[in-house]
């Protein structure tokens, strides 16, 4: 046997001897148990998460130092307490990998927690509950949601600023029609006072135009109103129809033809109606701008559903996608000289916050197709 092999075996024997309990080193089984308990206590003391030992009666029989800090009391004060009082609305079930719940302090205040529970082996069964405070995490989530809502609101204002001229023209049309109908009705009353039926018909048309103008204004007001994000069950194709009334004005200005197709029997999603309309308007506006100067200007919006997701495809016949199309959804990336480059970034943020995905790809007929998916309501509620 060579020297290196001999040294290796000697090292293994040495290591084995050092890890094997001996009477001289450990002394007795009691000493081993005390040493193991001390080691475990040292490990628990290092943990930042709170740890509770709970007996078969649901009483706390052991804690670590972090538990006292979490519940704003001394660790000793937790001993003998009922776990169900400390952890209301929480599942103290052995084998539960992770569940979210609430914990309660002596002053009655509650705070969000993440709870994992396991059970010890041996003659004395205990449940070990590991508790993590989620207060800061939930506060960060709430702040992120608020910031996302503020960004979406700013995006809607920016969108309306860019569409202002086209929308002013769109609203002016029904008002012009109303004025024409009213003049005609007055003329008929003066020249043909007995033709009341014809006058009523004209006034009905004037009323319909007034309702049309009011509907446009209502949707504009809803679109730019600041408010909390509220998700309700919505038909994606119905959202497309509503958003189209806001985006159609700019399409008409460049002479674009718009077509809408609904290909799904069920395309209901759990969504914030205004925010998803914002995404649709953004995609329509981008498509219209891409078709400026194009020989063929066709904008199609198509909804479908498959594999638990509803989908919208917004296809244009514009100048197509440039290299690096994936960067379009990054903030402050814009192909427009005067654009801030936040419209598609906001759209991506909104879609992903709804559990969906958004992307762009070349249109085989020329131009580009921007698509996004949202989980169907039945899937989102699972």
- CATH number assigned to the domain comprising residue 49: 3.30.450.20
Q: In what order do the strands lie in the sheet with 110-119?
A: 60-63, 50-54, 127-133, 110-119, 99-104
- For residues 154-190, one letter each, b for 16 or more C-beta atoms within 10 angstroms of the residue's C-beta and e for the rest, the string is ebbebbeebbeebbeebbeebeebbeebeebbeebee
**In terms of domains, do 183 and 330 share one?**
yes
pLDDT value for 259: 93
**In terms of domains, do 120 and 176 share one?**
no
How many separate domains does the chain show? 2
**In terms of domains, do 165 and 94 share one?**
no
Average pLDDT over residues 258-264: 92
pLDDT value for 233: 96
**In terms of domains, do 66 and 200 share one?**
no
**In terms of domains, do 116 and 197 share one?**
no
Is 266 part of any domain? yes
147-184: pLDDT as tens digits: 777 767 777 776 666 566 666 666 776 787 788 888 88
- Point out the domain boundary residue: 77, 100, 133: 133
The domain of 232 spans: 140-380
Helix 196-224, helix 236-253: angle, nearest 10: 100
- Point out the domain boundary residue: 66, 98, 133: 133
**In terms of domains, do 157 and 302 share one?**
yes
**In terms of domains, do 62 and 193 share one?**
no
354-380: pLDDT as tens digits: 999 999 999 998 999 999 999 999 876
- The domain that holds 205 is classified in CATH as 3.30.565.10
43-90: pLDDT as tens digits: 666 778 899 989 989 899 989 889 999 999 998 999 999 988 898 867
Q: Which of the pair, 228 or 317, is modelled with greater confidence?
A: 317
Mean pLDDT of the chain: 78
**In terms of domains, do 348 and 199 share one?**
yes
- Point out the domain boundary residue: 79, 103, 133: 133
Are 52 and 60 in contact, with CB atoms under 8 Å apart? yes
In this predicted structure, the answer to whether residue 325 has a pLDDT above a threshold of 90 is no
Confidence of residue 324 (pLDDT cuts 50, 70, 90): low
**In terms of domains, do 265 and 347 share one?**
yes
Average pLDDT over residues 307-333: 79
In this predicted structure, the answer to whether residue 334 has a pLDDT above a threshold of 70 is no
Q: Which of the pair, 311 or 190, is modelled with greater confidence?
A: 311
């Amino acid at each position: 046997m060579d020297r290196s092999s001999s040294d290796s075996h000697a090292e293994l024997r040495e290591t084995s001897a050092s890890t094997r309990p001996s009477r001289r080193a450990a002394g007795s089984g009691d000493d081993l148990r005390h040493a193991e308990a001390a080691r475990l206590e040292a490990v628990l003391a290092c943990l930042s998460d709170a740890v509770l030992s709970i007996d078969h009666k649901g009483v706390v029989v052991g804690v670590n130092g972090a538990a006292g800090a979490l519940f704003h009391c001394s660790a000793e004060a937790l001993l003998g307490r009922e776990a169900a009082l400390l952890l209301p609305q929480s599942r103290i079930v052995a084998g539960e990998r992770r569940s979210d719940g609430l914990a309660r302090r002596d002053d009655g205040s509650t705070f969000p927690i993440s709870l994992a529970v396991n059970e010890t082996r041996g003659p004395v069964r205990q449940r070990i509950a590991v508790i993590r405070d989620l207060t800061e995490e939930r506060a960060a989530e709430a702040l992120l949601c608020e910031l996302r809502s503020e960004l979406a609101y700013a995006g809607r204002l920016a969108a309306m600023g860019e569409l202002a001229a086209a929308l002013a023209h769109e609203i002016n049309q029904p008002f012009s029609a109303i004025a024409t109908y009213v003049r005609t009705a007055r003329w008929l009353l003066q020249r043909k006072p007995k033709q009341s039926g014809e006058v009523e018909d004209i006034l009905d048309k004037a009323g319909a135009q007034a309702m049309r103008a009011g509907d446009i204004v209502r949707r504009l007001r809803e679109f730019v109103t600041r408010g909390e994000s509220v998700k309700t069950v919505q038909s994606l194709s119905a959202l497309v129809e509503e958003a189209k009334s806001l985006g159609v004005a700019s399409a008409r200005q460049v002479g674009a033809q718009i077509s809408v197709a609904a290909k799904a029997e069920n395309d209901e999603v759990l969504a914030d109606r205004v925010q998803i309309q914002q995404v649709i308007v953004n995609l329509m506006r981008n498509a219209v701008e891409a078709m400026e100067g194009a020989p063929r200007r066709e904008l199609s919006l198509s909804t479908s559903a498959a594999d638990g997701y509803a989908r919208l495809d917004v296809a244009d016949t514009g100048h197509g996608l440039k290299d690096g199309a994936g960067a379009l959804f990054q903030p402050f990336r814009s192909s427009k000289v005067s654009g801030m480059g936040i419209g598609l970034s906001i759209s991506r943020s909104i879609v992903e916050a709804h559990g969906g995905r958004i992307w762009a790809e070349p249109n085989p007929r020329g131009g580009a197709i921007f698509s996004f998916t949202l989980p169907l309501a039945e899937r989102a509620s699972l």
